[in-house]
Structure 1
Amino acid sequence: MTKIEERTAANMDVVLEEVCRNLPHGGDHESRKHIAKKLMQSVKKGNVTLEGLRAVAGRAFAELSERKSA
Protein backbone atom coordinates (compact mmCIF):
# COMPACT_ATOMS: atom_id res chain seq x y z
CA MET A 1 0.00 0.00 0.00
CA THR A 2 1.23 3.47 -0.84
CA LYS A 3 1.95 5.79 2.07
CA ILE A 4 -0.53 8.66 2.24
CA GLU A 5 0.92 12.11 2.76
CA GLU A 6 0.13 13.79 6.06
CA ARG A 7 -1.80 16.60 4.40
CA THR A 8 -3.94 14.16 2.41
CA ALA A 9 -4.70 12.11 5.54
CA ALA A 10 -5.72 15.31 7.34
CA ASN A 11 -8.00 16.27 4.44
CA MET A 12 -9.59 12.82 4.55
CA ASP A 13 -10.20 13.13 8.30
CA VAL A 14 -11.78 16.56 7.93
CA VAL A 15 -14.08 15.44 5.12
CA LEU A 16 -15.10 12.24 6.90
CA GLU A 17 -16.05 14.18 10.02
CA GLU A 18 -17.92 16.82 8.00
CA VAL A 19 -20.07 14.34 6.14
CA CYS A 20 -20.69 12.12 9.17
CA ARG A 21 -22.14 15.08 11.08
CA ASN A 22 -25.18 14.52 8.88
CA LEU A 23 -25.63 11.00 10.24
CA PRO A 24 -27.30 10.19 13.57
CA HIS A 25 -24.67 10.13 16.34
CA GLY A 26 -21.90 10.80 13.82
CA GLY A 27 -22.57 7.60 11.89
CA ASP A 28 -22.28 3.95 12.75
CA HIS A 29 -19.14 1.95 12.04
CA GLU A 30 -20.36 0.54 8.72
CA SER A 31 -21.44 3.94 7.39
CA ARG A 32 -18.14 5.56 8.33
CA LYS A 33 -16.25 2.62 6.86
CA HIS A 34 -18.13 2.92 3.55
CA ILE A 35 -17.33 6.62 3.24
CA ALA A 36 -13.69 6.09 4.27
CA LYS A 37 -13.30 3.31 1.70
CA LYS A 38 -14.58 5.59 -1.07
CA LEU A 39 -12.18 8.32 0.07
CA MET A 40 -9.25 5.89 0.01
CA GLN A 41 -10.14 4.70 -3.48
CA SER A 42 -10.24 8.29 -4.68
CA VAL A 43 -6.91 9.19 -3.07
CA LYS A 44 -5.27 6.19 -4.73
CA LYS A 45 -6.42 7.64 -8.07
CA GLY A 46 -4.76 10.96 -7.24
CA ASN A 47 -7.68 12.96 -5.88
CA VAL A 48 -6.15 14.61 -2.81
CA THR A 49 -7.73 18.07 -2.67
CA LEU A 50 -10.17 19.00 0.04
CA GLU A 51 -12.88 19.94 -2.46
CA GLY A 52 -12.35 16.79 -4.51
CA LEU A 53 -12.61 14.64 -1.41
CA ARG A 54 -15.74 16.49 -0.30
CA ALA A 55 -17.38 15.59 -3.60
CA VAL A 56 -16.46 11.92 -3.17
CA ALA A 57 -17.74 11.88 0.41
CA GLY A 58 -20.97 13.53 -0.68
CA ARG A 59 -21.56 10.82 -3.27
CA ALA A 60 -20.75 8.10 -0.73
CA PHE A 61 -23.20 9.69 1.71
CA ALA A 62 -25.88 9.72 -1.00
CA GLU A 63 -25.22 6.00 -1.64
CA LEU A 64 -25.86 5.31 2.04
CA SER A 65 -29.13 7.23 1.90
CA GLU A 66 -30.22 5.30 -1.18
CA ARG A 67 -29.41 1.96 0.47
CA LYS A 68 -31.43 2.78 3.57
CA SER A 69 -34.47 3.95 1.59
CA ALA A 70 -34.45 0.87 -0.67
Structure 2
Amino acid sequence: MILESFDRRTIANLEAALERVCDGRPDGADHELRSFIADAMVACAKKGQTTLGALTEAGEAALARRGISDRKQA
Protein backbone atom coordinates (compact mmCIF):
# COMPACT_ATOMS: atom_id res chain seq x y z
CA MET A 1 0.00 0.00 0.00
CA ILE A 2 1.23 3.49 -0.80
CA LEU A 3 0.87 4.72 2.79
CA GLU A 4 3.43 2.19 3.96
CA SER A 5 5.94 3.14 1.25
CA PHE A 6 6.34 6.85 1.94
CA ASP A 7 6.54 9.29 4.81
CA ARG A 8 3.81 11.82 5.54
CA ARG A 9 5.52 14.67 3.73
CA THR A 10 5.92 12.63 0.56
CA ILE A 11 2.28 11.53 0.67
CA ALA A 12 1.20 15.15 1.14
CA ASN A 13 3.38 16.19 -1.80
CA LEU A 14 1.93 13.40 -3.95
CA GLU A 15 -1.61 14.54 -3.16
CA ALA A 16 -0.80 18.22 -3.73
CA ALA A 17 1.02 17.51 -7.01
CA LEU A 18 -1.88 15.42 -8.30
CA GLU A 19 -4.27 18.27 -7.54
CA ARG A 20 -1.96 20.79 -9.23
CA VAL A 21 -1.77 18.74 -12.41
CA CYS A 22 -5.49 17.91 -12.55
CA ASP A 23 -6.95 21.19 -11.28
CA GLY A 24 -8.85 23.14 -13.90
CA ARG A 25 -8.74 20.37 -16.49
CA PRO A 26 -12.13 19.37 -17.89
CA ASP A 27 -11.14 15.73 -17.42
CA GLY A 28 -9.34 16.36 -14.12
CA ALA A 29 -11.82 14.29 -12.12
CA ASP A 30 -11.54 11.26 -14.42
CA HIS A 31 -10.41 8.32 -12.29
CA GLU A 32 -8.44 6.62 -15.06
CA LEU A 33 -6.54 9.81 -15.88
CA ARG A 34 -5.80 10.57 -12.22
CA SER A 35 -4.60 7.01 -11.69
CA PHE A 36 -2.30 7.25 -14.73
CA ILE A 37 -0.80 10.50 -13.45
CA ALA A 38 -0.52 9.21 -9.87
CA ASP A 39 1.33 6.10 -11.07
CA ALA A 40 3.95 8.30 -12.73
CA MET A 41 4.30 10.39 -9.59
CA VAL A 42 4.70 7.31 -7.39
CA ALA A 43 7.41 6.00 -9.73
CA CYS A 44 9.16 9.35 -9.39
CA ALA A 45 8.91 9.24 -5.60
CA LYS A 46 10.28 5.69 -5.51
CA LYS A 47 13.39 7.04 -7.25
CA GLY A 48 13.84 9.50 -4.39
CA GLN A 49 12.41 12.54 -6.16
CA THR A 50 9.85 13.53 -3.54
CA THR A 51 9.66 17.31 -3.73
CA LEU A 52 6.43 18.94 -4.78
CA GLY A 53 8.14 20.35 -7.85
CA ALA A 54 9.61 17.02 -8.97
CA LEU A 55 6.32 15.20 -8.47
CA THR A 56 4.38 17.90 -10.31
CA GLU A 57 6.84 17.70 -13.22
CA ALA A 58 6.46 13.91 -13.31
CA GLY A 59 2.70 14.28 -13.43
CA GLU A 60 2.82 16.88 -16.17
CA ALA A 61 5.20 14.71 -18.19
CA ALA A 62 2.82 11.75 -17.82
CA LEU A 63 -0.05 13.94 -18.94
CA ALA A 64 1.95 15.02 -21.99
CA ARG A 65 2.81 11.41 -22.83
CA ARG A 66 -0.84 10.44 -22.44
CA GLY A 67 -1.86 13.25 -24.78
CA ILE A 68 0.59 12.07 -27.40
CA SER A 69 -0.60 8.50 -26.98
CA ASP A 70 -4.26 9.56 -27.22
CA ARG A 71 -3.59 11.48 -30.43
CA LYS A 72 -1.87 8.49 -32.02
CA GLN A 73 -4.92 6.31 -31.30
CA ALA A 74 -7.42 8.80 -32.73
Q: Give the TM-score band, short-chain normalised.
A: 0.7 to 0.9
Distance 1:60 1:27 in 2: 16
- Please give the residue correspondences for 1:2-41 in structure 2 after superposition, counting only pairs within 5 Å: 3-41=5-43
Cα RMSD for the two superposed structures: 1.6
In the alignment, structure 2 segments of 5+ residues that lack a partner are: none
Q: Pick one of 61, 65, 70 that aligns with 2:67.
A: 65
Deviation, 1:34, is 0.6
Distance 2:71 2:25 in 1: 14
Q: Give the corresponding residue for 1:56.
A: 58
Distance 1:47 1:26 in 2: 23
Report how many residues are paired. 70
Moved over 3 A (4+): none
In the alignment, structure 1 segments of 5+ residues that lack a partner are: none
Letter in 2 for 1:35: I
1:24 aligns to what SS in structure 2? Answer: coil
Distance 1:51 1:9 in 2: 14
Distance 1:27 1:62 in 2: 17
Identity of aligned residues (%): 36
Deviation, 1:3, is 2.4
